[in-house]
Structure 1
């Protein structure tokens, strides 16, 4: 005679999403199985205690009464939920009514099934025993239902806290990515403007050429800072304009070349991914050397990956052995790769023989869905 087990309390239910029909049916079926098993155990206990002589009689009475109470309690609870009126006192009243009416209805049904007269089914002694058993079972099930609801409530709070933490981390990551994408080296701008100022008086044609290259670079950088992804062709075009500006400012001390195969041109990559690597090569590999040097930027397919490399002919690891690979630009690139690709992407630094450094980025293919989904998730 176990009453309804699908007990929900208003505080927890108000915060949980409305269950679908399949969820309700599954919960009702699970509840019915548990009630049937519990009723069978009660029938075994009653038979062992000498209540009725036959086990089948106790089983029929137990199942009829328990299922009747469960059905009435579920109907009452569903009605209260539909009218948004499920409160603690109303739920307690529904339980009392379900026990009284369910016990009476169940005893009547069992009497009809077993062919026992109804006057015998409602004897005072039998009603009292049924009431005590139903009350005890109801209290046990109510405690069980409250425990389940409390556990669900605590689990929901933990899940909500974890979701809020994850959302905050995604927001911070999105802001960090946007800041990285929009970052322009201030010294680069100041030095370029100073060079432009000197060229206006000494070499106006070169000044106009430098201004045109700077304009292309700033325009492309601004567009890239607003994009979720860009093709390698666009990114190499930005790098070409940036290196052209540096070449005019530094002069013959800087030589550079870009190698973008046709089969890599349309591959989408995170915006401004290679720019920090090129700036690092300029700062540590070229500008610090009196004789200057060369920078090569290349892309190539390698199976289900694409490899991007920035090679310089500077002093390499020997220049700053304690800080090599720990610069802000390199750290930012590693953070972006980890955020967008996890362990599927990597940035490695190797020695360039006979001198210099190679910064190599390895990205998974296909990239279009990976980059778009990952960046969109970081901004959602």
Structure 2
């Protein structure tokens, strides 16, 4: 005679629309199984303490009464939900009515099934005993249902809080990455504008060429700063425009080459990833050497990784703090790699024989990277 176990309380049920028919049927079937099992346990307990003539008789009475109470309680709750009138007091009234009417209905049905006299089924003593047992079982199951509902609500709150915290972390990470990738070396702009100013008077055609390269570089850099990812081909175009500007400034002191294989061109990479490395090679490797030098930017891939390298023939290790990995540009790249890939990406600096420096970035390929644990797109 255990009544419904999925009692919905006003805090949740009053806000929910009437469930679909299949959901109601599934819930009713699940509840019915629990009620049948609980009724069998109650029948066994009554038989053990000497109430009733046999276990079979107690089982029939217990099942008939319990299922009747469950049916009436579900009908009352469904009626209140349809009218959007399910409140605590009304649910309590529906529960009392279900217990009283269900106990009487169940005893009548059980008596008919067992062939007993209906007048004995409604004896005051038997009705009172049935009512107390039904009330006790109903209170226990109601407490159980409330506990499950409360646990579900708390679990939902915890999940919602975790989702909100993760969303806030993703937003903060995105803003941080945007700030990091939007950094442009100010000295590059100042030096280029100074060169442009001198070329306007001495060599107007070269000034126009320099201005076109600068315009191409700034446009591409602005687009990259707003993007979450870009292809390696697009990034190499930015580097080509950037090195073309520097070549106009430095003349024969700078030579450069870009090597991008076809199987790497369409791979997605973080925007402006290589630009700080090229700037570092120019500032600490080429510009500081009287004879200048050469910069080679290349890409290679294997089954699981993409390897990008920026090699220069400049001063190499030990000349400036930047060449030892303490420069802002190198720190920027390392921080972005950590934020985007964790320990699945790396930046290493090695000596370029016979002199110079090689900055090598190793990234997981998109199909090998899997889901990004930090929630940021590469």
Secondary structure in structure 1 of the residue aligned to 2:310: strand
Change (3 A) 1:160 1:281: same
Matched residues in 2 for 1:23 and 1:328: separation?
Answer: 59
Of 63-72 and 332-341, the range deviating more from structure 2 = 332-341
Aligned counterpart, 1:69: 69
Aligned counterpart, 1:136: 136
Secondary structure in structure 2 of the residue aligned to 1:255: strand
Shift of the alpha carbon at 1:44?
Answer: 0.9
Shift of the alpha carbon at 1:297?
Answer: 0.7
Shift of the alpha carbon at 1:238?
Answer: 0.8
Matched residues in 1 for 2:17 and 2:214: separation?
Answer: 55
Please say if residues 311 and 358 of structure 1, whose CA atoms lie closer than 8 Å, have aligned partners that are also in contact. Answer: yes
Aligned counterpart, 1:165: 165
Change (3 A) 1:123 1:335: farther
Pairing 1:264-279 to 2, within 5 Å after superposition: 264-279=264-279
Pairing 1:36-75 to 2, within 5 Å after superposition: 36-75=36-75
Pairing 1:70-149 to 2, within 5 Å after superposition: 70-149=70-149
Secondary structure in structure 2 of the residue aligned to 1:310: strand
Change (3 A) 1:166 1:185: same
Aligned counterpart, 1:301: 301
Please say if residues 230 and 270 of structure 1, whose CA atoms lie closer than 8 Å, have aligned partners that are also in contact. Answer: yes
Matched residues in 2 for 1:24 and 1:282: separation?
Answer: 71
Please say if residues 3 and 69 of structure 2, whose CA atoms lie closer than 8 Å, have aligned partners that are also in contact. Answer: yes
Aligned counterpart, 1:353: 353
Please say if residues 321 and 327 of structure 2, whose CA atoms lie closer than 8 Å, have aligned partners that are also in contact. Answer: no
Secondary structure in structure 2 of the residue aligned to 1:56: helix
Shift of the alpha carbon at 1:18?
Answer: 8.0
Shift of the alpha carbon at 1:315?
Answer: 3.8
Secondary structure in structure 2 of the residue aligned to 1:7: coil
**1:310 correspondence with 2:307:** no
Pairing 1:1-380 to 2, within 5 Å after superposition: 1-13=1-13, 23-319=23-319, 324-366=324-366, 378=376
Deviations 1:6-65 (A, max 9, x none): 012222446789866655444433322222221111111101111111001111111111
Change (3 A) 1:75 1:275: farther
Change (3 A) 1:317 1:155: farther
Secondary structure in structure 2 of the residue aligned to 1:252: helix
Change (3 A) 1:334 1:109: farther
User: Structure 2: any 5+ residue segments left out of the alignment?
Assistant: none
Secondary structure in structure 2 of the residue aligned to 1:37: helix
Deviations 1:282-341 (A, max 9, x none): 233333444433221101221233222112233444345798335443344344444444
Of 323-332 and 246-255, the range deviating more from structure 2 = 323-332
Deviations 1:253-294 (A, max 9, x none): 322211011222233333222222222322333334444332
User: Structure 1: any 5+ residue segments left out of the alignment?
Assistant: none
Please say if residues 6 and 28 of structure 1, whose CA atoms lie closer than 8 Å, have aligned partners that are also in contact. Answer: no
TM-score when normalising by structure 2: 0.88
Matched residues in 1 for 2:99 and 2:139: separation?
Answer: 11
Deviations 1:184-209 (A, max 9, x none): 22222122112211222233222222
Please say if residues 171 and 378 of structure 1, whose CA atoms lie closer than 8 Å, have aligned partners that are also in contact. Answer: no
Deviations 1:117-159 (A, max 9, x none): 2212111111111111111111111211221122122212211
Change (3 A) 1:295 1:21: farther
Matched residues in 2 for 1:24 and 1:293: separation?
Answer: 77
Matched residues in 2 for 1:267 and 1:254: separation?
Answer: 28
Matched residues in 1 for 2:323 and 2:293: separation?
Answer: 21
Matched residues in 2 for 1:153 and 1:196: separation?
Answer: 66
How big is the alpha-carbon RMSD for the aligned residues of Structure 1 and Structure 2? 2.9
Matched residues in 2 for 1:341 and 1:106: separation?
Answer: 65
